[in-house]
Each structure stands twice: as structure tokens, then as C-alpha cells.
Structure 1
Amino acid sequence: MEFSDQIKQLRKENNLSQVQYAKKLHVTRQAVSNWKNNRNLLDLEMLIEINRVFHISLDQLILGDDNMNKMTQKLIKDTDENRKAKYNMITTLIGGFLMILGFVSLSRLIR
């Protein structure tokens, strides 16, 4: 089941309008509409909030059924991007440190 379908089902099971649903989650009605229409996907913090408010497991919310849905793909992509960003930052810091070390060593040789 796609994430948008889960959002609709969860809202209907709790007999909530989009406005009521949005108020429970402290977001706008437009945000809920965008989720429902697959225009925007939620971040991890909002998934946790839905889990807390509606008592639905994160596994069910993220994975839906056996098929990988767009939310699962988004979380995997976000994790990969975060991992790459950390790797790039560490590489940059090490490179910067080595350059400074090289300049210091070179300046001592010149004296």
C-alpha cells in the first residue's frame, strides 16, 4: 500500500477531516493534502509524530505492505545522502589538516 493510501486510511479510521487530521499533527491542511496526493513526502520527525498520535507502528507506516513504497525509497535515499555528506566532510577535514601540516613542514624547511 502506498503511503498516500495509508494516510487516507488512517484519517478515515479515526473519522477525521483533513483539517482535524492536520491540527492533530500540527501541520496545515495543505500539507496533508500534499501527502495524500503524493506531492510531498514526510520527514522522519513527522513519521514519528504520526506514530505517537495515532499509535501506528513505524514499520507499518513506512513499509506499508511487502512492496517498497515511495516513503521507504525516500528514507533510504535520505540515509544514503547523509552518509555521503558525512564522508565528504571527513575527507575535507583530513585533507585540510594534511595541507596545513604540509605548509608548516615546508615553512620549517625554508628557515
Structure 2
Amino acid sequence: MRLGERLKEYRNQEGLSQEQLAEKLNVSRQAVTKWENDKGIPDLDNLIVISDELNLSLDELLKGNENVKEKIISDSSAKKWHILVIVYLVAIVVYIAYFAIHHKIFMIGFLIATLFMLFFEIRIFIKEKIYSQKKI
């Protein structure tokens, strides 16, 4: 059975409408509809909350769904990339500071571009942390 069919079946067993489940998950009803019609896959945080709300294990919900397995793996690797990019951008800022102090070469354009990317990555990283903490 596909994830969407399982989600719909278990939601109905719990006597929840799509709207009620969406409210509990802090998502739109359209997101639940999309998941039930297999047009999208919930992220790992939502899968955990869904399993809690529907009183079943993740194994029961996900068993035999390769698409979900692939999504979970890609989501976890994407979070690791944000940390790596932040570390890389901080290293560039340190490099620019080194050149400014020791060689009297100040690369303002490069510094501005790097700081912009750094703050953008940090913002994404913090938003993901806050979002995942709200789900717990």
C-alpha cells in the first residue's frame, strides 16, 4: 500500500478530517490532500508528528515506501550541507580579514557577497532548527 493510501486509511480510523489533521501538524489542508494523493511526501518532522497523531509507529506508516526512504535520506543530507556551507563561508571571511590586516588588501566586494551568503545560510539553518523544535 502506498503512503497516501495508508495516511488516508489511518486518518479515517482516528476519525480525523484532513482539516483537523492539518491543524495538528501546522500545515495546510492542501498539504494533507497532496500527501494522500501521493503528489508529495511529508518531511521527516511531519512524518514523526503524523505517526504520533495517528497512534502508529513510523514503521507501520512507511513500510515498503521507497520514495519516502529516498526523501528522508536527501533531507538529512541537505541539512548537513547547510552546516558545511556556513563553515566554508566563515573561513572565507577569516581569509579576507587576514589579507586586510597583514597585506593591507581589503576586498570589500568579495566581503559583502560572502557576508550576504553567510547570513542567508544562517537564516535558513536557524529557521529549520526553529521549525523542527516546534514540531517536537
- The two structures have a TM-score, normalised by structure 2, of 0.61
In the alignment, which residue of structure 1 is the partner of 2:73?
A: 76
The structure with more radius of gyration: 1
Distance in 2 (alpha carbons) for counterparts of 1:56 and 1:98: 51
Structure with greater contact order relative to length (CA < 8 Å, sep ≥ 6): 1
> Cα distance, 1:69 vs. partner?
2.4
In the alignment, which residue of structure 2 is the partner of 1:100?
A: 97
Alignment RMSD (CA, Å): 2.2
Asked whether the 8 Å contact 1:2–1:70 carries over to 2, the reply is no
Where structure 2 has 5 or more consecutive residues not aligned to the other structure, the ranges are 105-136
Asked whether the 8 Å contact 2:22–2:32 carries over to 1, the reply is no
How many residues align? The count is 101
> Cα distance, 1:35 vs. partner?
0.8
Distance in 2 (alpha carbons) for counterparts of 1:2 and 1:24: 19
- Greater than 4 Å deviation, 4+ residue runs: none
Distance in 2 (alpha carbons) for counterparts of 1:95 and 1:89: 10
Where structure 1 has 5 or more consecutive residues not aligned to the other structure, the ranges are none
* Residues 97, 55 of structure 1: alpha-carbon distance in 2 compared, 3 angstrom cutoff: same
In the alignment, which residue of structure 1 is the partner of 2:63?
A: 64
Deviations 1:52-76 (A, max 9, x none): 2122112332x313xx422221111
Distance in 2 (alpha carbons) for counterparts of 1:47 and 1:53: 10
Identity percentage of aligned residues: 23
Asked whether the 8 Å contact 2:41–2:68 carries over to 1, the reply is yes
Counterpart secondary structure, 1:59: helix
